[in-house]
Structure 1
Amino acid sequence: MTPTARTAPASASPAPAGDPLAPSDDLLSRCTRVGGLARPRAEEIDREGVLPQEVIAALDEERIFSLTLPRALGGRGCTPGEVVGAVMALTYADASLGWTALIGQSSGFLSWMDPGAAAEITGETPHPRVAGSMAPAGRGVPEPGPDGTPGFRLSGRWPYNSGCRHAQWLVVAFIPVGAPGGAPAPAGENAVGPGAPSGPVGGPPGAPAGGRPGGPGGGPAGGPPPSRWGLVRAEDVRTVPTWDVMGLRGTASDDIVIEDVWIPARRTFDPVRGQARQDGAIFRHTLFTFLMTVMAGFPLGLTRRVLDDFTELAAARGRLGSRGTLLDDPLVQARLLQAHSEARAARLLVAEAVAALDAGAGEDPVPARAALAAAVQNAQRVCLETAEWAFHTAGGSAVHTSHPLQRAWRDAVTASSHIAFSTSSAGRTARALLRPESLTDMEALLV
């Protein structure tokens, strides 16, 4: 095979008709425009640890941070498939861009908040840039405001807040303290439905459930107290620059510190056990399904980028002591074909799972939700394995930190450390598909 004779890589083939992951032409063009600004600055993004202000401004202009924000709150209200396709296109341009955009879909958390409070936030900051952490690493002491409004006084330190340097709001999980069993939820907050546990959240989505629902105080026996999430203005948060890592370096995933900041209770919510209060297919199921949906496009987009970059390099690079190129090697050809097949299969699995959830999950939605989680976890595995193979096969030049295949490998490794791809999360997904009767009610909410 020669560079002039090769056909377009399979990853660049057009999406099939009726593809549930295909964003509209308008949304795709907006993502392509933003990606075109970020890709030439990949080394700068890696070096500076944050997206350039020009790229953030473009994300704002194209309303990319509002893909999951409901239309009732001024957002795009995209379908799950459109969100996956948009994140895929942005990640194809630059992994840190794609990750920042998917974490920026934290604006969708406003769907679980009191609608009046959510409208106040979007009225103050239309298309808000929202970052934050799901780990319940803070404490909230119930305390009324000066006018008697119920609220919490928050303190704590939260790690891994991707995009916090340009966020306008930070969403943080905290443990209510100072009241038996924690403070009550604001009036009107709904439970998920029949079978929803009354127990507390045992940690961030992806963490072990911590015990059996129904223990003393309405929670798992011996488990931690209930957690809630709250939105805090960026000016009330201190950022600690801790993001010195191997991959996804441009995501500014620093620690944040909140010290004795009061917020009204209406700006707090429980998205793990609570039901979304805005309409939209992406909120129809659990918080974990929402999270897996916004993450699905990342491994798909990064795998496409790795395959296209490797193919371009292999078609131009000669083998030492050989007249042929790397792409002429039959072993490379065979492994590259396998990688393309695995990438296409991963995409089809995600598309199938998204379409099944969109069509309705039937009487028992847990298997359908687990199928999406399994598809996204598989896509990340394919991404990591493909990036590692491409990096090692590219030769000595790829060891330089500026090399795109080395950067992609580092990004894939770092993304794989996210709790959504952890052993506990994968095990829970497997049990939901293979032994659903073994799940506790709380574990079912984390699938």
Structure 2
Amino acid sequence: MRISVIGTGYLGAVHAAGMAELGFDVVGVDVDAAKIETLNQARMPFYEPEFEPLLAKHVGKGLRFTTDIAEIADADVHFICVGTPQRRDSPAADMSAVDGSVDAMIPFLKDGSLVVGKSTVPVGTAERLAERIEVATPESVTVELAWNPEFLREGFAVQDTLHPDRLVLGVNGDNAESILREVYARTIAEDQTPVVVTDLPTAELVKVAANSFLATKISFINAMAEIAELTGADVTQLADAIGHDDRIGRKFLNAGVGFGGGCLPKDIRAFSARAAELGAGQSVAFLHEVDAINQRRRDHVVNLVRTHLGSLAGRRVAVLGAAFKPNSDDVRDSPALSIAGQLHLSGARVTVYDPKAMDNAARIFPTLDYADSASAAVEGAEAVLHLTEWPEFRELDPEQLAASVATKLIIDGRNVLDREAYRNAGWTYVGLGRP
């Protein structure tokens, strides 16, 4: 069996390498020539732990990347892994890359091949694409379409590809299911991975439903943080207490600056937009408030800085973190970078440091100052903001940092620093939702 992967962004590149690791001949296709060249040199076009060794192991030995869509002609299974970002003119998903990739592959689909969507799409997309393929292919060519949503966590993408916690197979018949079970046979056998077989619309809904639930859980605890700050309660202790209820669980109950990245924000907006198109907008109306709570957390941190420093004009602020989460260089919709930008626009002199995301951050906010270390970033700072929970930030010595700053004020936007250690070193420690 030969496999093609259309789109070699974060999802597609990792999936292609993962399929090679599972023993298949794989070709990855993308329109970005620079990215293709980087991948063919077994180098990462983005930061992801464990990804580069996997590339080095397989590039040129069953795994290759190309800009020529015609090279998919020999493949039996075609995975669609292109992006579905938010549209510029609405909250809905931009489906141009998905539609374009399907149109591009149709002339090269052979009889008996299977097209498999992995991209996160509005429910109903699979049925629409299946009809599109059926109309455009000759009568002598039978092509099936399935949906196999991805559940990658940035920072753990290789692990999640090779050892997923579940496989969802959205199919219309036994043949597509059989092919996908063959693709994932090793994973299913070695890890006893649960396999959930569904129809197409259910498979499409799984990813957006999961992301909407996670976003809601995060925004819920951040709403509790707002109440805690007004009442003197401690949201961290509150989360520990309710997290012991196994119906709730402790995961994703960490109050802070909220969620970001290329999935949760745009997925809940696209889900709301699609529900409205279906006449069910009220069913997910709560997602608008989930989004609003998340955005308020960013404004709240800016207001906290203003409360402690007064006017922000000319004040020196150090921001530790630019990526939306640790173990990633992804700054899409990053709370850390959004807060840094707001402070800068309010007149503050903002210096940012992140272990991996500096180049990406500088492309979006070139007017911010960037340092090459945490100690350099905090030099002369009147406020230090901890906004991305990289391990190295948790390991910083409060005593040593105190010697570099102008004012010992730290705002812990992730509530993970050692509060007592900072206070014992003379810092004013401000946690979100904590007294």
Q: Same fold (TM over 0.5)?
A: no
What band does the TM-score fall into relative to the shorter chain? under 0.3
More helix by share: 1
Structure exhibiting the larger radius of gyration computed from Cα positions: 2
Normalising to structure 1: TM-score of the pair? 0.25
